[in-house]
Amino acid sequence: MKPLNTRSLARLGAGALALGGLAIWIVTGQPPKGHEASEPEAAHDQGIVHLTPEQAQAAGIVPVTAGPGRLVRRVRVTATVTADQDHIVHIAARTPGVVAEARKKLGEPVAAGEVLALIDSTEVADARAEYLAALENEGLARTTAAREEALWRQRISPERDYLQAKAAAMEAGIRTGRARHSLQALGLSEAEVKALKSGAGLQRLELRSPIAGQVINRGATRGDRLAADTDAYVVADLARLSLTFPIYARDLPYVAVGGTLPLSTADGRTATARITHVGPVLDPATGSAPVVATLDNADGTWRPGDFATGTLEADAQEAALLVPEEAVVTLDGQSQIFVPVPGGYARRPITVGRSDGVHAEVLAGLKPGDSVAAGNAFILKAEAGKGDAGHDE
């Protein structure tokens, strides 16, 4: 057998000491001196998310005080802006004709009574000629009747001649009235009929706008032949616009004429419209009724065709304790909120009642004056979930 050297003896001694220490640990249940179990670096705080005020502010978490308020029934609507049907006119010749002149271009302003186009029509010429002839015949018939009346009163002519002349004058007046009405049916005003004289231009018809506004459509081009009742121009007063949108039957009892509708668009424009009509009949296909709102547009900010969204505040109910709906989160299958505590935010279970999409009613777990975390409270929920997972491990 070879003798043990110094290095081998040292190894044997260290192994013996280790085995001895292990034996003592097993017998006494205490680790050898210098081998105590290390403590964890930090203890887990149940239900508390550690955030400094600066971190909370940067995360968009805002403290809000819980208190009494009103739950408002809100109806979200989308609508397309259109010209108001009471402030739009379709201007067309009531008889076929050729466009002699088109004076207004698309988008140009128009004054009430302004001439937009001139139409040449043989039907108008015939009607004017008939009226002038009837007017002339009526004048002659009345003159004859007046002479026959004078002769009859002087006992120069028999009464029969006077009565015949009187009847002829009345018939001539009727024919003149019929010819006048024919001209008015073709679009001539009473003033234009009275000012009518024989001569050139009997075929010329003036198309006038009955309202002030803008040309939003033009169908008249010089030289074109327009059929009867074909739009030559469409003029709209865009200082007042309309919106039509559907409201479902469950919400109709809360919508009334005179109510307001705040509007907004994707590009940031805002306005307030007023409800002017609530449809009395439901569409059987959709179960909704049309609602019309009127929008003042004196500054021309809005245009027909704009797409807008709005929210109708239809009904309000009092509630003893409200918090922002965004402050309520669901953790462990239960509604909870986060309340500020020293060093961060603590979870607190609550019982939730009614909601209007903006505020939630709290029935238990909170009292008026308590502060809760709103804004981006979902960040606290996410951090609390991480803490729970780490604790379970």
In-domain check, residue 391: no
Confirm whether 126 is domain-assigned.
yes
Please report which confidence band the pLDDT of residue 167 belongs to, taking 50, 70 and 90 as the band edges.
very high
Which range marks the domain in which residue 226 is found?
A: 88-120+207-236
CB 323 within 8 A of CB 66: yes
Do 132 and 249 lie in a common domain?
A: no
The Cα-based distances of 26 to 15, 121, 216 in angstroms read 17, 122, 98
Kindly tell me the sign of the dihedral angle through the C-alpha atoms of 116, 117, 121, 126: positive
Is 175 in the same domain as 194? yes
19 has pLDDT over 70 = no
pLDDT of the residue at 108: 94
pLDDT, tens digit, 9 for 90 and up, residues 351-373: 999 887 889 999 999 999 999 99
Residue 230 within any structural domain of the chain: yes
pLDDT at 239: 93
Tell me the pLDDT tens digit for each residue of 289-301.
999 999 999 998 9
Q: Same structural domain for residues 137 and 253?
A: no
For position 259, which CATH number holds? 2.40.30.170
- For residue 217, the model assigns a pLDDT of 94
pTM metric for this prediction: 0.58
Q: What is the mean pLDDT of residues 130-136?
A: 90
Asked whether residue 117 carries a pLDDT value surpassing 60, the answer given is yes
d(CA 266, CA 24): 78
| Residue 246 is assigned to a structural domain of this protein | yes
- Write the pLDDT tens digit of every residue in 48-107: 888 888 888 888 888 899 999 988 878 889 999 999 989 999 999 888 999 999 999 999
Q: Domain with 348 in it: what CATH number?
A: 2.40.420.20
Provide the pLDDT for residue 49.
86
Same domain, 228 and 336: no
Neighbours of 172 (CB within 10 A): 21
- Of the residues 317, 345, 370, the one at which a domain ends: 317
Verify that 97 and 231 share a domain, yes or no.
yes
Q: Are residues 98 and 132 in the same domain?
A: no
334, 225: one domain:
no
> Does 181 fall in a domain?
yes
Q: Choose one of 291, 317, 343: the last residue of a domain.
A: 317
Asked if 285 and 340 sit in the same domain, the reply is no
CATH number for position 228: 2.40.50.100
Helix/strand/coil (H, E, C) string of the chain?
Answer: CCCCCHHHHHHHHHHHHHHHHHHHHHHHCCCCCCCCCCCCCCCCCCCEEECCHHHHHHCCEEEEECEEEEEEEEEEEEEEEEECHHHEEEEECCCCEEEEEECCCCCCEECCCCEEEEEECHHHHHHHHHHHHHHHHHHHHHHHHHHHHHHHHCCCCCHHHHHHHHHHHHHHHHHHHHHHHHHHHCCCCHHHHHCCCCCCCCCEEEEECCCCEEEEEECCCCCCEECCCCEEEEEECCCEEEEEEEEECCCHHHCCCCCEEEEECCCCCEEEEEEEEECCCCECCCCEEEEEEEEECCCCCCCCCCEEEEEEEEEEEEEEEEEEHHHCEEECCEEEEEEEECCEEEEEECEEEEECCCEEEEEECCCCCCEEEEECHHHHHHHHHHHHHHHHC
243 shares its domain with 311? yes
Domain count, the chain: 4
If asked whether residues 147 and 244 sit together in one domain, one would say no
CB atoms within 10 A of CB 163: 14
Shared domain check, 217 and 103: yes
Integer Cα distance of 300 and 237 in angstroms:
11
Q: Say yes or no: 224 and 154 in one domain.
A: no
Residue 352 lies in a domain: yes
The full length of the chain comes to: 393
Q: Which residue has the higher pLDDT, 305 or 316?
A: 305
Among the three residues 283, 317, 351, which one is the final residue of a domain in this structure?
317
Token pair, residue 279, equals 């449809």
Q: What is the pLDDT of residue 259?
A: 87
* Residue 27 maps to a domain: no
Q: Is residue 14 part of a domain?
A: no
Using an 8 Å Cβ cutoff, are 120 and 100 in contact? Answer: yes
